[in-house]
Structures are given as structure tokens and as C-alpha cells.
Amino acid sequence: MSYSFDVALSREVTMACNACETLFQGSHTLVVSVDKSGNSAFLRIRNQSRNILVINRILLCLTRAGIAGSTTYYLRPPPQPSGAIWMYPYGAYLEPTGINALFTILHGIPPGLIVQAQVEYIEIEGRSRSCQTTF
């Protein structure tokens, strides 16, 4: 079974923390999820809009409940230096396909660790078209 969590572990199949968040995420351009399988965390991103997105940076925060402090990894698209491996093969551009694109995997996550992700992006909205030309 796959788990999905942002702030705390839950048994939801959706990408949200709870039922209210699931409702809110229906209107989001971008949905970010961290899925657990064994002791690995899979960061996935889904573009729900009709526009292309350019991802500038992904922040992965790792912390424990009740313990002060955290670790943050900063993922940037290649060829920029990054704190973890950027796996998405199409660089920073995320097309509006609706698929859950895998961006990175963190292995060896110990029990009780909380993993949360945030994505900084630009949505490309401006478009211009030519008139048709018949040949």
C-alpha cells in the first residue's frame, strides 16, 4: 500500500493531508505529494492546469515531531547544483498532462521522520497565435 503525506502520515490515496485539503487541491495548479514505500520517499508533482509550468526550485523538509530543528534539501533543475538528484527527464518544464511526474527519491528514511515538500514555479499563461495561411 502506498501512503501519501505532507505534514503527517495518513492512509489516504489522494495527495492531500485530509479531506478538506483534498477539496482545496482540486483547484490548485500544481499538486505536490510525498509517497512512502518501505523506507523511501517518492516526490511526485502533477500539473492540473492548462498551462506549462517552469519549476524553479523544490524544497524538501525533513523533521521529527516534538523535536526542534529540521533538514531542508533544495532541488534545482539541471545543470544547477542540487541537494538531491533531479530525476524528471524533461528539465524544469512540466507540461499539462495530468500525470504524477516523479522528481526524486529519498532512500533510508527512518521511522517517525516527517517529510514535506514545497515547489516554487512559474505558470506560463501568455500565448500569441498567427492567422492561418493556406498553401
Which residue in the block uniquely carries the three cell numbers 516526490? 43
**In CATH, what number is assigned to the domain containing residue 24?**
2.60.40
At residue 8, the pLDDT reads: 33
Position 134 confidence tier, pLDDT thresholds 50, 70, 90 = very high
Residue 127 lies in a domain: no
Summarised one tens digit per residue, pLDDT across range 104-124 is 999 999 998 999 999 999 999
pTM score of the predicted model: 0.73
- List strands edge to edge, sheet with 100-106: 9-10, 3-5, 30-37, 40-47, 100-106
Expressed as residue numbers, the domain containing 71 is 3-120
Pair 44, 35: CB distance under 8 Å: yes
The cell numbers describing 129, all together, are 497565435
Q: Which amino acid is at 41?
A: A
Tally the domains of the chain.
Answer: 1
Residue 134 lies in a domain: no
Pair 54, 60: CB distance under 8 Å: no
At residue 93, the pLDDT reads: 92
Summarised one tens digit per residue, pLDDT across range 24-79 is 666 678 889 999 999 999 999 999 888 999 999 999 999 987 777 888 889 999 88
